[in-house]
Structure 1
Amino acid sequence: MTTRGTIFLEEAEILEHRAWPAEQYIVRVSAPEAALRSEPGSFAHIQCDPAVPLRRPLSIMRAERSSGWLEFLYKPVGAGLAKLARRTPGERLSVLAPIGRGFEPDPDRPRILAIGGGVGIPPIVFLAQELRARTEFELIVLMGSEVPFPFDLVTSAHEVGGSPASASHAIELLEQWGIPSRLASCAELAGCFGGFVTELADTWLRASSPQALARTQILACGPEPMLRAAAALAYAYDLPCQVAVEEYMACGVGGCAGCTLTVHGTNGAAMKRVCVDGPVFDARSIYTNPSAGDA
């Protein structure tokens, strides 16, 4: 049985706080206990400001174990995150982390297609950070956004099968890590594939041989329509797929059961809590027929 593990409450000092275009922010905090134990797909429950009692869940984008810091990407939607956006280095935040069950890549499927969209980008960056030194896996990262990406971008030196020549840009950090990646957007962003990130994923899968597909799995995080589209790709190409879902949360630690969703298993349907039973689930357990719209 999967268990939750230890969650740490830390008074985390803000080390860096950077604003990016389209009201996007990346904040780095010192949280050594959580940094040691975080995994891609896990999240933190953060008190944004002393004047805002309810915490906000934020996916962990990077964790540096040796230096003891966590990094988060967010948009200031709502009063709590708007106050967080005004916090400055040197101030402290109450951080409850790490929470949730993360991605569990299958070593029998070493070719990983990782798809991140919008606010679902952070767990995929964390996944890339964790897998970059694991030579048993071959990782391809595709990111989608309808606003400018909150990262430094470069022309990629890595080939990604099926992507058009116009899709030339990649996140500089992933390039430094030696991970092939491409970007997609419907907003006509320079260097990006013109369309949804799952459409870009489809071009990559169509360019893959049957032998390569037999070694492939999909790991995805993003808004619900993107996850449904990723699940539909998994069905179409007969691939295993894990998805990290988003849900409104109150307590964040499984007590209030306010973030439940229906999960289908061998014993039928059951209500599961996204915060502690997830947020990563097998796509087939959530989307029984994604093309038809059944969930």
Structure 2
Amino acid sequence: MKPKSHRDTILVEDGKVLTHDSYLGNQYILWLAAPNIAARATPGSFAHLQCDPNLPMRRPLSIMRANAKQGWIEFLYKATGHGLQLLSQKTAGEIISIIGPIGQPFKLDPAYPRPLLIGGGVGIPPMIFLADTLRQDSHFKPLVLMGSEVPFPFQQKPSQFLIPGLPDGVIGAMPLLENWKIPSRLASLQGYPGCFEGFITDLARHWLLTLSPAQRQEIALYACGPHPMLQATTKLAREFDLPCQISLEEFMACAVGGCAGCVVKIQTAQGPAMKRVCVDGPVFDAKTVFI
């Protein structure tokens, strides 16, 4: 089926399920052939998926990876609620209607060559996509920190990268990032081996405190996760005077800016304004959101 364009930026495409794997904690990784959306996807953008032909309401999912050359996109999600439970039943070869890519992406600034990426729970996927983009440019030296209170959807491994200043024993890393030569560390309150015992923002603060003022001037924060985590990340950015972009996770009905069901209050140069997370975001400058 030929994709249809919406506002010349958003496409409606039939995606074919390539693989659909389940993990502990009711988590799933969905891999779809969707070449037109894959060609336009950017870190921070998301797609609106039809979970079942008999369920009118779609579900928004952040894109975890996209390969424009090979024509596929990938999602990590937790099957909470009726819609995503229906989606979790899809198998290889089935077709899923997708609207995307939607939203404003993260914006990289060469003035900050050491990006610190913070992902919590279902906020991990945009950080993986952003890391995948950053590894294409040797100017950037990212560090990825991820937190979860359910088992991570991968078999963690001891990191090959030494990160000075981190607590002893915090060596758990994501294998995919290790393969990309990007250092990462994990945090949880569940006592998982190799993970930092605490909130991911506490681990980030621990690391930032070990840096010199000159080193901190090279840092920019990028984050996605639950609201409390984003609030803590924003406070962290203010504490260390760091630029910070956050991706908001909000309930979305239409996801294309028509219903205004996902509006949030944003501080602008003209004063407070209501912005739609789906098309004005989901990525915002952190200092404009939590005021």
TM-score tier by shorter-chain length is over 0.9
Say which of 35, 41, 45 aligns to 1:38. Answer: 41
Quick check: 1:249–1:259 contact (8 Å CA) kept in 2?
Answer: yes
After TM superposition, which residue ranges in structure 1, 4 or more long, deviate above 4 angstroms? none
Question: What secondary structure sits across from 1:9 in the alignment?
Answer: strand
Residue identity matched to 1:82: Q
Q: 2:236 aligned with 1:236, yes or no?
A: no
Matched, 1:191 2:197: no
Percent identity reads: 53
Shift of 1:123: 0.1
Encode CA deviations 1:74-106: one digit per residue, 9 max, x unaligned. 111111100111110000000011000010021
Cα distance in 1 between the residues matched to 2:63 and 2:20: 15
Superposition deviation, residue 5 in structure 1 = 5.7
Corresponding residue for residue 57 of structure 1: 60
Between the aligned partners of 1:160 and 1:287, the Cα distance in structure 2 is 30
RMSD: 0.9
**Alignment partners' CA distance in 2, 1:221 and 1:161:** 25
| Alignment equivalent of 2:108, drawn from 105, 109, 118 | 105
Which of residues 116, 119, 122 in structure 2 aligns to 1:119? 122
- Write out aligned runs for 1:1-295 (5 A): 6-288=9-291
**TM-score scaled by length of structure 1:** 0.95
TM-score scaled by length of structure 2: 0.96
AA matched with 1:282: D
Distance 2:243 2:91 in 1: 42
Q: Which runs of 5+ in 2 are unaligned?
A: 1-6
Q: Secondary structure at the match of 1:166?
A: coil
Structure 1: state its 5+ residue gaps: 289-295
Deviation larger for 11-20 or 158-167 = 158-167
Report the secondary structure of 1:151's partner residue.
coil
How much does 1:272 deviate? Answer: 0.2
Confirm or deny: 8 A CA contact 1:161 1:208 kept in the other structure. Answer: no
Instruction: Count residues with an aligned counterpart.
Output: 285
CA–CA separation in structure 2 for the residues paired with 1:93 and 1:228: 34
Q: Report the Cα distance in structure 2 between the residues aligned to 1:41 and 1:197, rounded to whole angstroms.
A: 20
Q: Once the 2 structures are TM-superposed, how far is the Cα of residue 152 of structure 1 from its aligned partner?
A: 2.6
Equivalent residue of 1:146, what SS?
A: coil
Deviation at 1:111, TM superposition (A): 1.1
Query: Residue 46 of structure 1 contacts residue 55 of structure 1 at CA under 8 Å; is this kept in 2?
Result: yes
